[in-house]
A and B are shown apart, each in its own frame.
Chain A
Amino acid sequence: MAIWVDETTRVVVQGITGKEGSFHAVKCREYGTKVVAGVTPGKGGIVHEGIPVFNTIREAVAKEGANTSLVFVPPPFAADAVMESVDAGVELVVCITEGVPTFDALRVRSFMRGKTTRLIGPNCPGIISPGKSKVGIMPGHIHKEGRVGCISRSGTLTYEAVGQLTALGIGQSTCIGIGGDPVIGTGFIDALKAFKADPYTDAVVMIGEIGGSAEEEAADYIRAEFGKPVVGFVAGQTAPPGRRMGHAGAIISQGKGTAAEKMEKMKQAGIRVVQSPADIGVAIREVLERLPA
């Protein structure tokens, strides 16, 4: 078992005829994901890399039963693409696009209120349930099927954590990169709730970053009701205030959102916080060993 993506996931790739979209559609399919359709407005009717292309999401849903969308549309048009999928009732939208304006993301979130679609991202590596389905740009081969969930604001740092787990023989149930932007669809708490409800997830790795207060809010949730062990890390302990550290959301502003604050709050919530990013794997091994058999 896993959360949000599995064998029943049927993916439509938005922007499939672009360089990125095309490359990753094929990579996802090679991993075993059911990539059933692509959408590029104006190119409907062609078959790209063996995948049927449509003009609209509604067509892809009607004709191929797509229930998940993977978005590679360039920043100026990404929000519109996401909303098209939301409007078509797609269950899960994963937006990889980096550089979406914050106000566009705000409009998307406003548009989504009261609707059932889940959005992951933007500016994220996507989601993978190892051995079942990969809906994103992460390297599939570093993952291993198992019982640890991963949630992270970062891309390659998630790969780092996953790589450590796999090297120790510890598999993952589902790994989600929630994205590095200030306004994102799925937050830590949404993912934590799903992992709590998933009987096949025993422990969770939570990787935060400087900026905002998502880690603090997640810590409150974990303390109140999560009930499964969590290993945490926050990147940016050495970041200077007021500078955007690559990700639009990773900025310490007005003295708020420092790594030290976040780590302290997470410790207080009972999370096993590691100071060093190299210790994530071994920390998970320790918490797993302490679980009752």
Chain B
Amino acid sequence: MKIHEYQAKSILKQFGVKVPEGKVVQTAEEAYEVTRKFGPPVAVKAQIHAGGRGKGGGIKLVKSPEEAETAARRMLGSKLVTPQTGPEGRQVRRLLIEKGQSIKKEYYLGIVIDRSQEKPVIMASSEGGVEIEEVASRSPELILKVHVDPCVGFLSFQGRQLGFGLGLDGKLAGRFGQFVVGLYDAFRGTDASLAEINPLILTTDGEFLALDAKMNFDDNALFRHPEIAEFRDFEEEEPLEIQASRFGLNYIKLDGNVGCMVNGAGLAMATMDIIKLWGGSPANFLDVGGGASTEQVRNAFKILVADQSVKAVLINIFGGIMRCDMVANGVVQAIKDVGVNIPMVVRLEGTNVEEGREVLRNSGLNFQLASGMADAAEKVCAAAK
């Protein structure tokens, strides 16, 4: 799960990580007021779930309340396009107004899970404020890494390793170490999957501050962090995806015109791939899960066809635990409910496949039955043209 910068900073503060003084606003008038109260200069920062905001004009440094108001008026309600939003951009609904800082140097600090080492890895670099992927490909030696034993936790000497490794003197290395302790505690304490401070600034007063903050969370652990789950911003998500998640379905909207309903994430991805190979374009990823009920299949189908760009549907089910006749029943019921009149290709395989095909044949509805994934892809791509 993703959250906004201002939310990440509120979490970090609770774990003792220093962040600039700031306030979230939703109107230009508030932006004016807050800037006046803080005293300029301030930074006006658009709050959307995508990075690269600076490049898209989503971060403005202003020198007066009037300028803050003008910047806020321009940003609020506008669609902000950054290298990470795609061409359609994201609507700006909130701004974070932050007190300006006098920056001596910018660093990078991030924590992710290193899958092959099976440990969290902390990365620090003296190259702050730029994309860390760029640094990684240009000069990987500038990224320092320490792995944390998940059972032991982050250790003081590791903080020194990073601090001195960045070329800091004794006093600053100690402060840097403290900063890392706070960030690791926040990462561990919230079951985050990413905690990234870029840039982490050293102020002219010799303090480390999180100028930006990004946190993502392990969806599987949200059950034990209701306070984090609260941060979910539905406005940042596709309405169909929200609806799907309410039904416990894995649905991701894409920009093609072939709707897909598949059981299992791997097979769902493979189905999207084969549609592309046959010259079509998938409209979505939809995994109905391994043990879905007739009701679940019906919900899934409704979401699928609610997408106006869908011109043909491919249902690809490899029944294991899920029986093909049950899937077929769900689909038939859904079509009778919704009244779909776009071409539908169905490929059923596995448990009770004959019974499933029988249900489709006897439904009086117009399905094309496919044998195998290639046949299914060919048929659905032809139908979508």
Residues of chain A at the chain B interface (Cβ within 8 Å): 20, 23, 75-76, 99-104, 106-107, 109-111, 125, 137-139, 141-142, 152-160, 163, 180, 182-183, 207, 209-210, 212-214, 217, 233, 235-240, 242-250, 253-255, 259, 275-279
Q: Does the CB pair B133–A255 fall under 8 Å?
A: yes
A138 to B320 Cα, complex, angstroms: 6
A212 to B115 Cα, complex, angstroms: 7
Q: Does the CB pair B113–A182 fall under 8 Å?
A: yes
Q: Does the CB pair A102–B151 fall under 8 Å?
A: no
A246 to B349 Cα, complex, angstroms: 21
A113 to B150 Cα, complex, angstroms: 13
Asked if B373 CB lies within 8 Å of chain A CBs, one says yes
Chain A contacts of B221 at CB under 8 A? 101-104
Q: Which residue of A75, A139, A180, A233 is within 8 Å of B319 (Cβ)? A: A139
Q: Does the CB pair A278–B372 fall under 8 Å?
A: yes
Given contacts A101-B224, A245-B265, 16 further A-B contacts (CB under 8 A): A100-B220, A101-B191, A102-B191, A110-B118, A110-B150, A110-B151, A139-B320, A152-B266, A154-B264, A159-B350, A183-B113, A207-B266, A237-B276, A246-B285, A259-B273, A279-B374
Which residues of B263-316 have CB atoms within 8 Å of chain A's CB atoms?
A: 263-277, 282, 285, 287, 290-291
Chain B contacts of A242 at CB under 8 A? 84
Per-residue CB contact flags for chain B residues 319-333 toward chain A (1 = under 8 Å, else 0) read: 111000000000000
Asked if B351 CB lies within 8 Å of chain A CBs, one says yes
Chain B contacts of A238 at CB under 8 A? 254, 269, 272-273, 275-276, 282
Chain B residues with a Cβ closer than 8 Å to the other chain, count: 57
Q: Does the CB pair A102–B350 fall under 8 Å?
A: no
Q: Which residue of A102, A137, A207, A254 is within 8 Å of B218 (Cβ)? A: A102
A206 to B250 Cα, complex, angstroms: 25
Chain A contacts of B84 at CB under 8 A? 242
18 A–B pairs (Cβ distance < 8 Å), ordered by A: A20-B291, A76-B224, A100-B220, A101-B191, A102-B193, A106-B113, A110-B149, A160-B373, A213-B115, A240-B252, A245-B250, A245-B265, A245-B285, A246-B285, A250-B265, A250-B266, A254-B133, A275-B273
Q: Does the CB pair A156–B188 fall under 8 Å?
A: no
Whole-angstrom distance between the Cβ of A243 and the nearest chain B Cβ:
5
CB contact under 8 A between A237 and B273, given known A99-B220, A155-B264: yes
For the complex of A and B, the 9 pairs showing the least CB-CB separation, nearest first, are: A154-B266, A246-B265, A156-B264, A157-B266, A101-B221, A278-B374, A235-B269, A277-B270, A106-B150
Residue in A111, A209, A236 whose Cβ sees the most chain B Cβ within 10 Å: A236
A214 to B269 Cα, complex, angstroms: 18
Q: Which residue of B151, B272, B320 is within 8 Å of A156 (Cβ)? A: B320
CB contact under 8 A between A209 and B269, given known A159-B350, A163-B318, A276-B274: yes
Q: Which residue of A102, A213, A217, A235 is within 8 Å of B273 (Cβ)? A: A235
Q: Quick one: closest A residue to B188, CB to CB?
A: A103
Q: Does the CB pair B274–A163 fall under 8 Å?
A: no
Q: Does the CB pair A137–B116 fall under 8 Å?
A: no
Whole-angstrom distance between the Cβ of A94 and the nearest chain B Cβ:
15
A139 to B223 Cα, complex, angstroms: 31
**Secondary structure type dominating chain B contacts:** mixed
A234 to B132 Cα, complex, angstroms: 27
Q: Does the CB pair A180–B266 fall under 8 Å?
A: yes
Q: Does the CB pair B320–A155 fall under 8 Å?
A: yes
Whole-angstrom distance between the Cβ of B216 and the nearest chain A Cβ:
9
Q: Does the CB pair B151–A107 fall under 8 Å?
A: yes
A235 to B265 Cα, complex, angstroms: 9
Q: Does the CB pair A153–B350 fall under 8 Å?
A: no
A275 to B377 Cα, complex, angstroms: 14
Asked if B233 CB lies within 8 Å of chain A CBs, one says no
Q: Quick one: closest B residue to A113, CB to CB?
A: B118
A159 to B373 Cα, complex, angstroms: 13
Q: Does the CB pair B191–A236 fall under 8 Å?
A: no
Q: Does the CB pair B276–A101 fall under 8 Å?
A: no
Whole-angstrom distance between the Cβ of B130 and the nearest chain A Cβ:
13
Asked if B119 CB lies within 8 Å of chain A CBs, one says yes
Chain B contacts of A233 at CB under 8 A? 270
Per-residue CB contact flags for chain B residues 26-61 toward chain A (1 = under 8 Å, else 0) read: 000000000000000000000000000000000000
Q: Quick one: closest A residue to B323, CB to CB?
A: A139
Which residues of B118-149 have CB atoms within 8 Å of chain A's CB atoms?
A: 118-120, 132-133, 149
Q: Does the CB pair B268–A245 fall under 8 Å?
A: yes
Q: Does the CB pair B265–A247 fall under 8 Å?
A: yes
Chain A contacts of B191 at CB under 8 A? 101-103
A76 to B377 Cα, complex, angstroms: 39
CB contact under 8 A between A142 and B350, given known A156-B318, A278-B373: yes
Q: Does the CB pair B219–A163 fall under 8 Å?
A: no
Q: Does the CB pair A210–B320 fall under 8 Å?
A: no
A23 to B320 Cα, complex, angstroms: 13
Chain B contacts of A217 at CB under 8 A? 116
Whole-angstrom distance between the Cβ of B145 and the nearest chain A Cβ:
14
CB contact under 8 A between A106 and B252, given known A250-B265, A277-B274: no
